[in-house]
Amino acid sequence: MYHQPVLLEESIEGLNIDPAGIYVDVTYGGGGHSKKILEKLGEGRLIAFDQDMETQDNLLDDSRLIFIRHNFRYMKNFVKYLGYQRVDGILADLGVSSHHLDSPERGFSFRFEAPLDMRMDQKSVPTASMVLNEYHPSRLRYILREYGELRRAGAIVDAIVQYREQQSIEYTGQLVELLKSHTPEKYRNKFLAKIFQALRIEVNREVENLKYFLSQSNEMLKKGGRLAVISYHSIEDRVVKHFMKTGNFSGEPVKDFYGNVEAPFRLINKKVITPGYRELQGNKRARSAKLRIAEKI
């Protein structure tokens, strides 16, 4: 399976699908969420985005599906080009797919010896290797602190810089080996997961693209339209939470002249939705998933 869709029923129910509506799935992946949306549609349309070339092998044979192989940061441009000024619902399942993690040659996982790539769009730059070998130490420290949430980012970067002065860091095994002395063995997998997460976020500009996408969703949704976003780590979830609650990324509410809070959305689930016991038993990778749903006011 390319990717097992997470929080499938909850996210599709949250979209409150109109059979005649126009919907956007900005993270097509294996097509699991898109398939469920199409099952709910009648004469409506689904516009799906994904930047990974390999997703085209999973395209559903359905005339109501319009697939666009681009990053979702370009959602507004393409949707308007297709002739739709507003849409009824938008779904995003963020993060890395099971396919990416289980494909050694893509370099997303420290479980395999592979080139340090981590690009979701194989035509983009930089690769993870380029980040490690070419970035200024101060930028590397920022990436590890902000995207990996690592406290000892300075010492880790010192080790990386010392190593790259002798030889280029090209493979996952090299990175794992040079970082061995920086964490006890029993915490090593969790530590490495944070390192790889930080590099992946930087390589794919995930936080920047997420903010672009969310800002566009406010403009593109009809009144009463729904936005459903599944995130997998606190960095993404914080961005989504702030945006849905306040319409901005600082989380600070904006008030009008009379002191009334101006918010573009109504929260559908004030408490974040997480996978239940049954789903976790069948898909352990769903354990960190958080679903937030909001309706355009």
pLDDT tens string 116-158: 999 999 899 999 999 999 999 999 999 999 999 998 999 999 9
Distance CA 214, CA 295 (A): 13
pLDDT digits (tens, 9 = 90+) for 13-47: 999 999 999 999 999 999 999 999 999 999 999 99
Is residue 1 over pLDDT 60?
no
Distance CA 97, CA 109 (A): 11
End-to-end CA distance of the chain: 38
Distance CA 288, CA 297 (A): 29
pTM of the prediction?
A: 0.92
Q: Which are the contacts of 130, defined by CB distance < 8 A and separation ≥ 6?
A: none
Q: What percent of the chain has pLDDT over 70?
A: 99
pLDDT digits (tens, 9 = 90+) for 74-108: 999 999 999 999 999 999 999 787 777 778 889 88
Q: What are phi and psi of 149, to 5 degrees?
A: 50, 45
Give the three-state DSSP class for 23.
strand
Going from the N-terminus, what domains does the chain have, and what CATH number goes with each? 8-98+206-296 (3.40.50.150), 125-203 (1.10.150.170)
Instruction: Evaluate whether 289 touches 275 at the Cβ level (below 8 Å).
Output: yes
Q: Which are the contacts of 214, defined by CB distance < 8 A and separation ≥ 6?
A: 229, 239, 240, 243, 249
Q: Residue 229, exposed/middle/buried by CB under 10 A (0-12, 13-18, 19+)? A: buried
pLDDT digits (tens, 9 = 90+) for 162-207: 999 999 999 999 999 999 988 878 899 999 999 999 999 999 999 9
pLDDT digits (tens, 9 = 90+) for 103-125: 888 988 999 999 999 999 989 99
Distance CA 78, CA 67 (A): 10
Kindly state the tokens that stand for 270.
């004030």
